[in-house]
Amino acid sequence: MEAWATELLEVWTRNRDVIADTMLDATSNNPYLPVKYTREDLMQIFDGARAMMAEDLGGESSELRDTYMNSVVPGLVAGGQPLSAIAGQIVINAIQLQSVLIPAMSEKHRNQAATFFRNWYCRMCMDTVRIGLEQGAKV
């Protein structure tokens, strides 16, 4: 794993509580997100996202991501969650995470980490929307 990638994951681990608190504030004050999460829910969501990102950065299998895409996303759709709300949550997650993680990175690694991070979340959102549409999600 490259040095910038290792640093990104370390910064994520060190800032876990800050991330959860930042997200809790952002989501609880957003009238456009129908699902309101607890701090514990958010910790679990971001631990899972970090694990999927670590898997991707390490060049390992995509088992965690595949499991998420093939079970969690269809489960959200089957539970009646609107696709627009799922995509909105992914976008706000990315924005809030980036606002905490990237400024905490060393200047040397900041640009590489930011580029990877944006691209990773863009792909996550695109794949989620694709799967949601395939599952017949309501918008």
**Can you give the pLDDT at residue 115?**
96
Q: Is the pLDDT of residue 131 over 90?
A: yes
Q: What is the pLDDT of residue 41?
A: 84
- Is residue 49 within 8 Å of 93, Cβ to Cβ? yes
User: In this predicted structure, what is the pLDDT of residue 23?
Assistant: 86
List, as own/partner pairs, every contact residues 18-24 make where C-beta atoms lie below 8 angstroms and the sequence separation is at least 24, other chains included: 18/100, 19/46, 19/96, 19/97, 19/100, 19/101, 20/46, 22/96, 22/99, 22/100, 23/92, 23/93, 23/96, 23/97
Give me the pLDDT at residue 109, please.
98
| Structure tokens given for 109 | 């690694």
> What is the reported pLDDT for 54?
94
Residues found in the chain: 139
Helices (H) and strands (E) in the chain, counts: 7, 0
Q: Which domains does the chain have, with CATH numbers?
A: 3-134 (1.10.490)
Whether the model pTM is above 0.75: yes
**Residue labelled with tokens 């999600």:** 137
More confident residue, 138 or 112: 112
pLDDT, position 120: 94
Q: What gap in Å lies between CA 51 and CA 73, rounded to an integer?
A: 17
| CA dist 6 → 1, 11, 40, 63, 82 (Å) | 7, 9, 25, 20, 35
What is the chain's mean pLDDT, rounded? 90
CA distance 90 to 95: 9
The pLDDT of residue 33: 74
Q: Is the pLDDT of residue 118 over 90?
A: yes
Which pLDDT score is estimated for 29? 80
Residues 36-95 have pLDDT tens digits of 788 888 888 889 999 999 999 988 788 999 999 999 889 989 988 889 988 988 898 899
